[in-house]
Amino acid sequence: GQQVMQIPQYQHVQEGEDFTTYCNSSTTLSNIQWYKQRPGGHPVFLIQLVKSGEVKKQKRLTFQFGEAKKNSSLHITATQTTDVGTYFCAFPESKLTFGTGTRLQVTL
């Protein structure tokens, strides 16, 4: 099956700093989704990217799908403590498969 690496596994930033997590696939993806899971919570859908080179924004969050549709990134500008959690990419194979996640810690 497809192998999707999500990096970094963990990042600790100070409030106001930027944050980026990456999802890299060994094969071309038809689309990719991003989810956020707060500590003690459940994954919540953020966005889906379908087109090559697609860029979508949600307030301080910017999502990109690579031109070759093999990688994707989530960038948060000026992090806030409310951004704390684990961010997962997810992609359809025969079923929806989740990446390993990036845990973000934000301190004041």
Q: Applying CB under 8 A, does 88 fall inside the site for another protein?
A: yes
Minimum CB distance to another protein smaller for 19 or for 91? 91
Q: Applying CB under 8 A, does 100 fall inside the site for another protein?
A: yes
Minimum CB distance to another protein smaller for 50 or for 78? 50
Strand order in the sheet with 55-58: 4-7, 19-25, 71-76, 61-65, 55-58
Q: Applying CB under 8 A, does 92 fall inside the site for another protein?
A: yes
| 57 vs 75: CA distance, rounded Å | 9
Q: Applying CB under 8 A, does 43 fall inside the site for another protein?
A: yes
Residue (of 64, 69, 74) closest to 6 by Cα position = 74
- Residue appearing with tokens 């549709």: 69
Per-position x/- string for 3-32, each x denoting binding to another protein as judged by CB under 8 A, each - no binding: ---------------------------xx-
| 18 vs 107: CA distance, rounded Å | 13
* Contact positions vs another protein (CB under 8 A): 30-31, 33, 41-45, 48, 50, 88, 92, 94-98, 100-101
